[in-house]
Amino acid sequence: MSLTAETAFLAYEAVRARLPSPGPVPQPQRAATLAEISEDYDAFLLDAFGVLNIGETAIPGTAERIADLRAAGKRVIVVSNAASVPVRDLAMKYQRLGFDFDISDIVSSRLAMLTELARRAPRRWGVMAGHMPEFSDLPDLDLTLLAEAQDAYDDAEGFLLIGSAGWTEDRQARLEASLQARARPVLVANPDIVAPRETGFSLEPGHFAHRLADRCKISPEFFGKPFANVYDLAFEKLPGVARSRILMVGDSLHTDILGAQAVGIASALVTEWGFFAGHDPDAAIVRSGIAPTYMIERP
Ligand SMILES: [Mg+2]
């Protein structure tokens, strides 16, 4: 692995105690694409980044594979840790990239967090986000963007970690100091620690949440892969489909594959796109003890 991929791998290994436990370690079967293994499944949960797209580019062949699966009567649901935009905007993004998903075909970590917020009593939330995110998908929340004003941190009754674009060491220090003085709930809408970009890996909300857990007496509540809440939203869209007939497809051992194990479904690791493109997935499987049911070259 390159330095950045190795660093990303080690960052996930360092927080394993806060992630679900892996199931039994299967010996992965190898296949070129989903076409070779699709007979055994009725529903496919697809990770977005690394399976559907890299940045603003669709991965060649994925849209055609999805069309073939649907033509064979399969259900296809996108399960994404994208937290910065509502599912409706994700659907529009993927339509632009050539995928015909509508909002009923997508669940996200943001949706998992909003589902939980809808069950809770109102509270004044301080928000980590690059800009005040559009909350048309759950209006009436009391939100204050966390920036340079310390009052926003100290007056908040809880915190929502949604997006880390624009987040700075200064803001992290303010949040840590405020939580050290007084513990409050911290909900994390994107548990990813890093995200692969064209220029390397960016630090995501999960990175900052684990730092809070290390330095303050709080336990962040995570929404999204590898945690069960976002898979439960996908299962709600698949009534009558046995778990043994559902396959999770992703490029990350510590999110997609670990999450699939945690909820008891099979998984396929994409090896030639996304996280492991140009790297050695077999070594990572041995080192992490997280193994997919299948290793496929591409979707
Ligand atoms: Mg991915």
The model's pLDDT over 27-80, given as tens digits with 9 standing for 90+, comes to 999 999 999 999 999 999 999 999 999 888 999 999 999 999 999 999 999 999
Quick check: 250 pLDDT over 60? yes
Q: How far is the CA of 92 from the centre of ligand 1 (A)?
A: 19
The CA distance from 18 to 209, in Å, is 11
Q: How far is the CA of 268 from the centre of ligand 1 (A)?
A: 12
CB-based burial, 262-283: b 16+ in 10 Å, e otherwise:
bbebbbbbbbbbbbbeeeebee
E-assigned strand segments in the chain: 29-31, 43-46, 53-54, 57-58, 75-80, 106-108, 124-128, 142-145, 158-161, 186-188, 194-197, 200-203, 221-222, 246-250, 266-270, 294-296
- For 99, which DSSP code? -
Give the pLDDT confidence score for residue 195 in this predicted structure: 83
Give residue 264's region: left, alpha or beta (phi > 0; psi -120 to 50).
left
Contact 184, 152 (CB under 8 A): no
pLDDT band at 1 (very low <50, low <70, confident <90, very high): very low
Q: How far is the CA of 123 from the centre of ligand 1 (A)?
A: 32
Quick check: 160 pLDDT over 90? yes
Give the pLDDT confidence score for residue 179 in this predicted structure: 98
Alpha carbon distances (Å) from 58 to 53, 84, 105: 4, 20, 17
The CA distance from 223 to 111, in Å, is 9
Question: For 191-244, how does the pLDDT look when each residue is reduced to its tens digit (9 = 90+)?
Answer: 999 887 767 778 999 999 999 999 999 999 999 999 999 999 999 999 999 999
Ordered by where they begin, the domains of the chain are: 3-111+225-296 (3.40.50.1000), 122-222 (3.40.50.1000)
Q: How far is the CA of 35 from the centre of ligand 1 (A)?
A: 20
Q: How far is the CA of 179 from the centre of ligand 1 (A)?
A: 31
Q: How far is the CA of 134 from the centre of ligand 1 (A)?
A: 24
Q: How far is the CA of 13 from the centre of ligand 1 (A)?
A: 17
Question: For 77-125, how does the pLDDT look when each residue is reduced to its tens digit (9 = 90+)?
Answer: 999 999 999 999 999 999 999 999 999 999 999 999 999 999 999 999 9
What is the CA 39 to chain-centroid distance, rounded?
27
Give the pLDDT confidence score for residue 135 in this predicted structure: 79
Residue type, 241: V
Residue 252 in tokens:
């990350």
Q: How far is the CA of 206 from the centre of ligand 1 (A)?
A: 15
Q: How far apart are the first and last CA of the chain?
A: 22
Q: Supply the pTM of this predicted model.
A: 0.95
The CA distance from 48 to 90, in Å, is 10
Give the pLDDT confidence score for residue 20 in this predicted structure: 96
The CA distance from 158 to 53, in Å, is 34
Burial class (CB in 10 A: 0-12, 13-18, 19+), 151: exposed
Enumerate the β-bridge partners of residue 44: 76, 247
Quick check: 130 pLDDT over 90? no
Q: How far is the CA of 224 from the centre of ligand 1 (A)?
A: 12
The owner of tokens 């996304």 is 274
Q: How far is the CA of 133 from the centre of ligand 1 (A)?
A: 22
